[in-house]
Structure 1
Amino acid sequence: MLLSAILVAILAIISQWWFFAPITRCMTYPLTTGLLVGIFMGNPMLGMLSGATIQLVYLGWINTGGVMPSNTMVAGIFGTALTILSGANPKLAVTFAVPFSLIGLLMVEIYQSVNSFWVHKADTELAKGNIKAVRFLNYVPSLIVATIVYGIPAFCLVFFGRGWAQGMLRMIPKSLTVALEVVGAMMPALGIAMLLNYLGKKNLVPYFFVGFFLTAYLKLQIMAIAIFAGLLAYLLYINAKANSTTKTNVPAKKKVRRLTLQNRNGEEDQVSATPSNEKNDEPTTVVYRVKLTKGDLVKTWLWEQSDESAYNYERLQALGLTNMMIHPIKKLYPKEKQADELKKYMVFFNTEPHMVGPVIHGIALSMEEARANGAKISAEDINGVRTGLMGPAAGIGDTVQQGIIFPILASIGATMALEHNYFGPIMFTLIFELIIYSIGYWMFMYGYKKGKSSVVSILKSGLLDKVTNAFSIVGLMVVGTMAATRVTIKTPLVWHVGQSVIRLQSLFNQLAPSLIPLLITLLVWWLLRKKVNASIIVVGIFVVGILCSYLGILATI
């Protein structure tokens, strides 16, 4: 049990201490951590089932702008661990996880508040010219805080908790256990409804019902629905793209402030570093005497994966991005200027860090290289571009990554996991990370090569809307499938009319299979659209589920 407690504690630590994103990114998701907790505690099947069950509740909980609506890391790890310790039915994992997720919000506040101290310490060290301290402060103090806030509670839960967890489960009456299972079966409706609320443009909502009824009537599996939805979305995308090329009224191009890099491999490398304006559109020519190699770019991109190691409320990603720039700054500037050049990155900064956001860092790197070679680019120019682009990049990145790619893959992975297939969480983790980090690497390099015009061209092309709509179609159809299969609620009501027995669920099945799960999901969606807080809905599901179970109105399938 000691080894299990240590391993689960380490997992809890790195679920918040994001020291290297390709390792830590999926540690925020119960689908991934549930299986790992199960392996560490000697019951991988129960761990996987518990993690997948918990994940369904949090399919639509999207973290944007540094705001975390619920702590899914704590919910997944602590909720799964308690389920295994108590030996409970995995359907009860949700009822264990939800309270932990709320406690986890306090843990996040402590972690990110304390990390603000290290930012001020880094300011002081840079003023002294101590660059090495920035790297130390980005990793070590935040590790200590994560260990105290996350690691020690996780260790204590696993090492000391088996006895009281099993005792607690024995104290719960059988009728209440059944009622809590009803609550757990209803909870996925919240995650599905949140995704529907996020993806549900009026013209796309019918695709949700297409996915639902294909599953309810034809019993198609989620992979079949995903493949069908993908092909349909591709055809619609091609059609939309073809229609856009037929338009003849093309608006005149506007002049844009831009940075263009040319001929980096030649002897006379030049850069257009002067902003365009109506009076003077001639660029300033700069000869590159100091250049970044492909190896330098790759190293910088790798360091960028630690940009949230010391994530904090005051300046969010600032310390991590300053750490990222240490290598290129050392390459571009003499030692006496390095600390001063790093100071410009110690300002508030926050964007989607893994997939679209890296384009900003590539652009900043190209501007920094030009500045080091004498271009008239000030520190204010670099930060002006970074600040101006962090909002649009976050909007694009969070929408596509958290709102589309994640729920599609997580829905498929959770469904496979709940069918006792270990490949479900493994497939989700590998494919999800392969997609976002491949795109992130390409965006980083694209931003460096093309400069600021790279983002402008993407935003003005209209391509993003077409791609987003295509992915949304896939997402909505997959979500429809989840509503039909993972909100596992039925009614046991029976009416006796003379010698006849009328089972209400049989009537519903003849009218529309899975009608009750659909109605529950649509009700929760309606509440979200009415701006009812998700936490209030969680409480409501607990109350309604327990009450309806005791009254014999609802039961699990």
Structure 2
Amino acid sequence: MVYQYIPICEHSVSCYVRGGKRMTLIQAVLIGCVAALTQLEGGWLGEAKFREPVITGFLVGMILGDVEKGLMIGAALQMMWMGATGIGPTAQLDIGTGGTIGAAVAIMTGKGAEAAIVFALPVAVIMQFLNTLLLTAFSGLMVAADRKIDEGNLKGAISIHYLCGFFTFLLYFGLTFIVMYFGNDAINSIVNGLPEWANNGLQAIASILPAMGFALLMNIIMERNLIPFFIIGFVIAAYTELTMVAVTAIAVAIAWMVFLLRSGQQNSPAAVQQNVVDEWED
């Protein structure tokens, strides 16, 4: 086996590959930051969808120097998890950390979505349980925050909020950094050591899971009045040679027309008069 030198990062140490790239210190730090920031989205960054695999895949691709593959792996994981949602007391998968590590493994090892699935699914489940334990630990700090609010000490309550965010960032950053940097050889050994039948099975799963994810999403949002739009989209995607960008543009145009039609009906003279009558009766 011939080892080839590849300068992955200008400011990193020398790295060698054997069937895949080796993670550098700077790259491991940046990927750790991406995984940690996905956990701060709801509390600090708002619902910016930063945790979505297509976003984390793009960022990981930029860090590892392969944006195209990062987007492809992220899109595959996005399709797989697009219907995964927490209902009631059931725990939702940690798609932020799972998608980040899955995309990084796929790019490092030179494999496809099957390599991402090997690590993304277990990581998503394990990190979600870890997040549950972390939130349970934070419940004690919430008592102190309530006490400071009752005392009128808003700065103290805000400091507790930032303290929880700091510990969350540090925990997810540290775990991801350790896995990516110190576990690089183990990851390559696991992926490259899989037998052919396992690779074939994972490739089949990688092809089926996006369909299952879309089916789960349809099970949540599908209503009788949405069936015609689903049929139109299926016909366009299956029987034409249009790209996904073109199909998406058509979908946006149809949604826009439906919005305009409904707005026109609500602003019609009959609707306005009915609203006046209803307000008078109230």
The normalised TM-score by structure 2 is 0.79
Residues 3 and 199 from structure 1, CA distance in 2 versus in 1: closer, same or farther, beyond 3 angstroms?
A: same
Spell out the pairing of 1:91-240 with structure 2 (5 A cutoff). Answer: 91-148=114-171, 150-240=172-262
1:7 is aligned, of 22, 30, 44, to 30
1:91 positional shift: 4.2
User: In structure 2, what is the equivalent of residue 21 of structure 1?
Assistant: 45
Distance 1:62 1:252 in 2: 39
Q: Do the aligned partners of 1:86 and 1:162 also contact (CA within 8 Å) in 2?
A: no
8 Å CA contact retained: 2:66, 2:107: yes
Give, in whole Å, the separation in 1 of the partners of 2:261 and 2:58: 41
Give the partner amino acid of 2:44: F
1:202: Cα distance to partner? 0.9
Once the two structures are TM-superposed, the CA of residue 30 in structure 1 deviates from its matched residue by: 0.9
- The answer as to whether partners of 2:105 and 2:115 remain within 8 angstroms in 1 is no
Shift in alpha-carbon separation, 1:16–1:67, aligned structure 2, 3 A: farther
Which one of the candidate residues 78, 83, 92 is aligned to 2:106? 83
CA contact (8 A) 2:113 2:206 kept: no
Q: How many angstroms apart in 1 are the aligned matches of 2:280 and 2:122? A: 53
Sort the Cα spacing of 1:206 and 1:138 in 2 relative to 1 into closer, same or farther, 3 A: same
Q: Relative to structure 1, is the Cα distance of residues 133 and 88 closer, same or farther in structure 2, using a 3 angstrom cutoff? A: same
Aligned: 1:252 with 2:278 = yes
Cα distance change of structure 1 residues 89 and 231 upon mapping to structure 2, 3 Å threshold: closer
Q: Distance in 1 between matches of 2:119 and 2:207?
A: 13
Q: How much does 1:203 deviate? A: 2.1
d(CA) in 2 for partners of 1:142 and 1:205? Answer: 43
Q: Distance in 2 between matches of 1:178 and 1:208?
A: 32
Offset of residue 48 of structure 1: 2.6
Closer, same or farther: CA 254–197 of 1 in aligned 2, 3 Å? farther
Give the CA deviation at 1:62: 4.0
**Aligned mates of 2:257, 2:119 — CA distance in 1:** 43
Aligned identity (percent) is: 23
Q: For residues 463-502 of structure 1, what are the structure 2 equivalents within 5 Å?
A: none
Residue identity in the other structure for 1:168: I
Contact 2:94 2:124 in 1 (8 A): yes
Q: Quote how far apart the aligned CAs of 1:254 are.
A: 7.3
CA distance in 2, matches of 1:249, 1:112: 50
CA distance 1:184–1:95, change in 2 (3 Å): farther
Structure-2 change in CA distance of 1:254 and 1:3 (3 Å): farther
> Per-residue displacement from partner, 1:30-73 (whole Å, max 9, x unpaired)?
11111212322344333332222111112223457896522111
Q: Which amino acid aligns with 1:154?
A: T
Cα distance change, pair 254–32 in 1 and its aligned pair in 2 (3 A):
farther
Correspondence list, 1:275-314, <5 A: none
What is the distance in 2 between the residues matched to 1:227 and 1:145? Answer: 39
1:185 & 1:107 partners in 2: Cα distance? Answer: 29
Within 2, Cα distance between the matches of 1:255 and 1:154?
A: 61
- 66-75 vs 194-203, which moves further: 66-75
What is the alpha-carbon distance in structure 2 between the residues aligned to residue 226 and residue 112 of structure 1?
Answer: 38
Distance 2:160 2:235 in 1: 54
SS of the counterpart of 1:26? coil
Q: 1:117 to 1:146 in 2, by over 3 A?
A: farther
> Contact conserved, 1:125 with 1:134, CA < 8 A, in 2?
yes
Q: Structure 2: any 5+ residue segments left out of the alignment?
A: 1-23
Q: Deviations over 1:96-129 (max 9, x none)?
A: 3122211122022022222222211112333444
Q: Is the 8 A contact 1:111 1:146 kept in 2?
A: no
Asked if 1:72 corresponds to 2:95, the answer is yes
CA distance in 2, matches of 1:127, 1:240: 47
What is the SS of the residue equivalent to 1:88?
Answer: coil
Alignment: residue pair count:
254
TM-score (norm 1): 0.42
The CA deviation at 1:140 is 1.8
Structure 1 segments unaligned to the other structure (5+ residues): 257-557
Name the SS of the counterpart of 2:211 in structure 1: helix
Query: For the residues of structure 1 that align with 2:113 and 2:218, how far apart are their CA atoms?
Result: 25
- How far apart are residue 199 of structure 1 and its match? 2.6
Contact 2:36–2:168 (Cα < 8 Å) also in 1: no
Aligned to 1:27, what secondary structure does the other structure show?
A: coil
Call closer, same or farther: CA 1:29–1:252 in 2, change over 3 Å.
same
Conservation of the 8 A alpha-carbon contact between 1:92 and 1:184: no
Please give the root-mean-square deviation of Cα atoms over the aligned residues, in Å.
2.7
Query: Does the 8 A contact of 1:70 with 1:102 survive in 2?
Result: yes
Cα distance, 1:25–1:67 mapped onto 2, change above 3 Å: farther
What is the CA-CA distance between 1:200 and the residue it aligns to?
1.4
Hey, what does 1:272 align to over in structure 2? none
Mapped to 1, the partners of 2:154 and 2:259 lie a distance apart of: 49
